[in-house]
A and B are shown apart, each in its own frame.
Chain A
Amino acid sequence: DVKVTQSSRYLVKRTGEKVFLECVQDMDHENMFWYRQDPGLGLRLIYFSYDVKMKEKGDIPEGYSVSREKKERFSLILESASTNQTSMYLCASSPLDRAKQPQHFGDGTRLSIL
């Protein structure tokens, strides 16, 4: 089974802090994604990566950056956390060239910015 592991289930940080959310997958997938989930809005794509050191902006990249130094690890960085970044964050991975393959998700990180 594909395993996508997010470093924390719950995280509380303060406004202005630099926050790191880590995601590791064990299936050698090329694609990795970061989403945020808010009630009534579904999941919105923040950033994605289809290869090591490659990154592409999603629909809501403002206030976030990402890092992919190794194929299995994709980090989301909140450069200076703000209260409007309180949300559920979900990481996902998928193979590059398999159209029918779903994205596999981690358990999510519920982040609160105080």
Chain B
Amino acid sequence: AQKITQTQPGMFVQEKEAVTLDCTYDTSDQSYGLFWYKQPSSGEMIFLIYQGSYDEQNATEGRYSLNFQKARKSANLVISASQLGDSAMYFCAMREGLLLQGGKLIFGQGTELSVKP
């Protein structure tokens, strides 16, 4: 069965330091997409970054980068130069196939990140 695992329920990082949030996935499909979302305490889900299974380069978006290791089935999120506003819950999600089943996402359990001043 398809599955996303985030093994870090909570993490702390010092302001201005980098932090890595872990995500491993399990799928038998060759074509899939991986997403990271941020959820502040206010509740809205904010899309951060996307990595396609056929993308050769690791995705980057500003301070966010995705360390994609396909053979290990991992898609870790790296946040550089942490800011206080980065304190939030972070979710890793996977979409299997290109467009199958309407593009359903499977989510991990989430990691709560706290940035210390």
How many residue pairs link A and B with beta carbons under 8 A? The number is 68
A42's contact among B35, B91, B103, by CB below 8 Å, is which?
A: B91
User: Can you list, as one digit per residue, whether each of B63-105 has a CB less than 8 Å from chain A (1) or not (0)?
Assistant: 0000000000000000000000000000101010011011111
Q: Are A42 and B44 in contact (CB under 8 A)?
A: no
Q: Are A42 and B110 in contact (CB under 8 A)?
A: yes
Give the distance in Å from the alpha carbon of A94 to the alpha carbon of B105 in the complex: 11
A67 located at the interface, meaning its Cβ lies under 8 Å from any Cβ of chain B in the complex = no
- Within 8 Å by CB of A43, from B50, B98, B102, B107, lies B107
- B residues within 8 Å of A by Cβ? 4, 6, 9, 33, 35, 37, 42-45, 47, 50, 52, 91, 93, 95, 98-99, 101-105, 107-110
Besides the known contacts A40-B109, A108-B43, 17 further A-B residue pairs in the complex with CB atoms under 8 A apart: A30-B102, A33-B104, A40-B9, A43-B91, A43-B93, A58-B104, A88-B43, A96-B102, A96-B103, A99-B52, A99-B95, A99-B98, A102-B35, A103-B35, A104-B47, A107-B42, A110-B43
